[in-house]
Amino acid sequence: MTELPLLIEPEILEQHLGDEQILVVDLCKADTYRQLHVPGAVFLDYGQIVAMNRPVMGLLPDDRTLHNVFSATGISRDTHVVAYDDEGGGKAARLLWTLECAGHRRMSLLNGGLHAWANEGHPHDNTPVTPASTDYTVEHNDAPCADSQYIMQHLDDTDVGLLDVRSPEEFSGVKKFAARGGHIPGAVNMDWSNAMDQQRNLRFRPDAELQHMLADIGITPDREIITYCQSHHRSAHTYIVLRHLGFPRVRGYHGSWSDWGNNPELPVE
């Protein structure tokens, strides 16, 4: 099978439907999946790939949980996972980031997700697909991950950039979804939705446009970039945007502001 890119267009996926090594994973709402989905796609509830320790949300589940979820979804080490959702790609991107944390290497995000697939006339089905269970081996990989301790160690490191992709109101502290409002000192802000092209069914904006937007706020490929939001849902999308653009060193802060903003020992701007 030809290796598929990290970001795959609907017409390319359609050509590969039925390939034995490809598993299409749907992270839409359950009702949406029952109404229509990519033919052959298996359903995965987003709640299964995030853990919580209230008030901290969006944590990476432990290896045993990931083994069970990926095995039940029909993913093996050789599977090329193509993920999509119905909300711009945040849930699907979080699955890909989680797979990377489990040491998985073969994966793609469907550009535009269900919006692009359905609106552009690609075939769809409404018959639920029962996955063939596997015995997934998790090979824990810390490279895509950041936590508060890691960020504190690099807070004054000019080689490391913090990209907060919440709304400007959350970034400034006007809107507060944790004990404290504001942002991590030194972070720059770009609302995650700005990376989506509303005129092209929520696809990524063109590469050159994304690179220009990011460079304008100091996010460049020569630095290590850590993305975060409230729970590493929105920022998982940005993580995949950066990986697609060829940024070699990218991490996602699981827990994100629900972790940082609820810890009184950590500095806030």
Q: Is 101 a catalytic residue?
A: no
Task: From the candidates 28, 101, 145, 229, give the one annotated as an active-site residue.
Answer: 229
- As beta bridge partners, residue 251 has 226
Pick the closest to residue 58 from 203, 234, 185 (CA basis): 234
Burial of residue 249 (CB within 10 Å: 0-12, 13-18, 19+) is middle
Q: How many CB atoms lie within 10 A of CB 268?
A: 16
Quickly list DSSP for 201-255: TTEEPPHHHHHHHHHHTT--TTSEEEEE-SSSSHHHHHHHHHHHTT-S-EEEETT
Active site residues: 229
